Amino acid sequence: MRPIPTKYLLLLTSLSSILLLSCLVTDLLPTATPSPADLRAEATYTMTATSTAVATPTPDPTHTATAPAPSPTPSTPEPPGETYIIDQERRIGEYVVRLWRNTAPEGIGYDNIATISGAGQPEVRVEFAAVLGEETGTDLTGEGHPDAVIEVFTGGAHCCLSTIVYDLGPTLTKVLETPLSNCGGSFQDLDGDGIAEYVTCDDLFAYVYCCYAGSPAPRVVLRYDPGSGYVPASPQYGDIYAGPIGADTEIAENAEPGGRCEWDETTRCGVLPLVLDLLYAGQDAQAWAELDRLYPYPDVLLFWAEIVQAVSSSPLYVPSGAKVDVPYPPYYMLYLRSGCGGDMQYVVGVLGEGQPTCDQEMPRRDLYWLQIQLQDAGLLAEGEMLMLAPDGCPDACRLDVIRIADNAQVGIIRLDVQAGFPGEVYRIGETESAHWRLRGDLTWERVGQ
């Protein structure tokens, strides 16, 4: 299904049935905890999904960490559950880092637990711990303390992976926890200063416009910031994007409609890797210029607004702050295309001023896209979704708001076009909500303000 960060979760969960039909997934769920080699192989696969490998880094840091003085630890620690046994154990100064393996016959194979214990410190417990990273015991950050690296794997095809790092100094401190995603990563000293950066990717577009194999995953660099831990800093390492930009330019210039299993048979996923390379490298104006040059469809302005909206919500993206001159229209009018014929999967029309309803050149989007926009406007709450009603309606359809927990209808969304362009969007339930207009950059304006 479409896994994605945060506000896309509802969208992507709802598409699982489509994805099973659209993409052939050959990965099998593991029956045992993946080995470090297996985990790194998965990470390597994910990191190379965009087309080219990251530039060869300088050797990893070799700091000599000063571990805290050792203190007595229990010889028989209390397991996190009666079916857990110690699989790995590292004693680092006053800390003990353990990986506990679940031996229960009904165990799922990746429900292991990592713990970090130290005198006078609250115990840390990490669920779905796959392995203790090979960097455990080294000083990744240059703070003079050893670090503990825990690799998390929740099971499934590709997803989900996370890397968690604790500084084993006088106060046990978490300095890195990557979002659960399809992306693994590695520690590399990219700038040769003896402090490791963490190189990963951002899978926020996985399954959004195309199947997993065609989905872009731009490189991301996190650098250590004293007091803040690892923070996104990709534009500071622009050299690592040179290879991907060159390769993805060639892909974009030769993209064929549906060539990367795009859901709508366009070239979105042929062009998007290049655009994301440039955005994450901090080259916003060039990103827009290349999309405008290489994406030959009438919804190019809407597509750009969607890209900016998505990356701006990612915890792994760093805005450049540069102003890009994009000729957005002042407004869009949202229109329910029931009665227009054609593919009802894309039932939401996004009309520009002067466009007639049912215009074949009108950009079209699905209900999941509309859900994202309505969440931004505050018209759709967490745990709610849209449903076209009555079921199977060819025309005279309405948009019901459904509470997912019990499948109850709790409201109706109106895309009101009666007053003319740009229309009004509002919710009807026990009361009627404020009315809103959608601007060309996909932000909302309250009517009457």
Residues 344 and 315 in one domain: no
Shortest CA distance to 158 belongs to which of 127, 180, 143, 126? 180
Q: Residue 2 pLDDT > 70, yes or no?
A: no
The larger pLDDT score, comparing residue 61 to residue 218, is at 218
3-state SS, residue 304: helix
Residue 151 in any domain: the answer is yes
Please tell me the predicted confidence (pLDDT) of residue 12. Answer: 34
Residue 113 in any domain: the answer is yes
Task: Copy the structure tokens of residue 181.
Answer: 């995603």
Q: How many domains does the chain divide into?
A: 3
CA–CA dist 16, 162 (Å, integer): 22
3-state SS, residue 299: coil
Task: Copy the structure tokens of residue 4.
Answer: 């994605």
Shortest CA distance to 318 belongs to which of 426, 211, 202? 202
Q: How confident is the model at residue 31 (pLDDT cuts 50, 70, 90)?
A: very low
Domain end position, chosen among 327, 354, 377? 327
Domain end position, chosen among 308, 327, 346? 327
Q: Residue 101 pLDDT > 60, yes or no?
A: yes
Q: Residue 25 pLDDT > 80, yes or no?
A: no
3-state SS, residue 294: helix
Domain end position, chosen among 280, 304, 327? 327
Residue 291 in any domain: the answer is yes
Residues 171 and 43 in one domain: yes
The larger pLDDT score, comparing residue 16 to residue 165, is at 165
Residues 41 and 188 in one domain: yes
Shortest CA distance to 218 belongs to which of 75, 345, 50, 80? 50
Please tell me the predicted confidence (pLDDT) of residue 135. Answer: 97
Residues 165 and 93 in one domain: yes
Classify residue 180 as exposed, middle or buried by CB count within 10 Å of its CB (0-12, 13-18, 19+). Answer: middle
CA dihedral 328, 330, 334, 335 (to 10 degrees): -100
Residues 174 and 41 in one domain: yes
Q: How confident is the model at residue 449 (pLDDT cuts 50, 70, 90)?
A: low
Domain that holds residue 263: 202-327
Please tell me the predicted confidence (pLDDT) of residue 54. Answer: 34
Task: Give 420's DSSP letter.
Answer: -
Q: How confident is the model at residue 377 (pLDDT cuts 50, 70, 90)?
A: very high
- pLDDT more than 90, % of the chain: 70
Residue 25 in any domain: the answer is no
CB 147: neighbour CB atoms within 10 A?
26
CA–CA dist 165, 150 (Å, integer): 6
Shortest CA distance to 183 belongs to which of 220, 236, 140? 220
CA–CA dist 312, 8 (Å, integer): 13
Please tell me the predicted confidence (pLDDT) of residue 65. Answer: 52
CA–CA dist 63, 140 (Å, integer): 7
Which of 245-259, 276-290, 302-316, 382-396 is the least confident region? 382-396
Residues 173 and 247 in one domain: no
Residues 318 and 335 in one domain: no
Which of 26-35, 202-211, 357-366, 367-376 is the least confident region? 26-35
Task: Give 141's DSSP letter.
Answer: S
Residues 292 and 153 in one domain: no
- pLDDT more than 70, % of the chain: 82
Mean pLDDT, the chain, rounded, equals 85
In order of 302, 423, 432, the CA distances from 411 in angstroms are: 28, 20, 10
Q: How many CA atoms lie within 13 A of 258 on its CB side?
A: 4
Report, as an integer, the average pLDDT of 124-140.
97
pTM of the model: 0.80
Residues 394 and 305 in one domain: no
Which of 34-48, 72-86, 163-177, 236-250 is the least confident region? 34-48
Residue 237 in any domain: the answer is yes
Residues 353 and 257 in one domain: no
CA–CA dist 285, 9 (Å, integer): 30
Q: Residue 151 pLDDT > 70, yes or no?
A: yes
Please tell me the predicted confidence (pLDDT) of residue 169. Answer: 96
| Cα diameter, the chain | 77
Please tell me the predicted confidence (pLDDT) of residue 75. Answer: 53
Q: Residue 30 pLDDT > 80, yes or no?
A: no
Residue 121 in any domain: the answer is yes
Report, as an integer, the average pLDDT of 171-179.
97
Residues 229 and 180 in one domain: no
- pLDDT tens, 326-368? 999 999 999 998 878 766 678 899 999 998 888 888 899 999 9
Residues 145 and 276 in one domain: no
Q: Residue 50 pLDDT > 50, yes or no?
A: no
Q: How confident is the model at residue 90 (pLDDT cuts 50, 70, 90)?
A: very high
Contact 270, 259 (CB under 8 A): yes
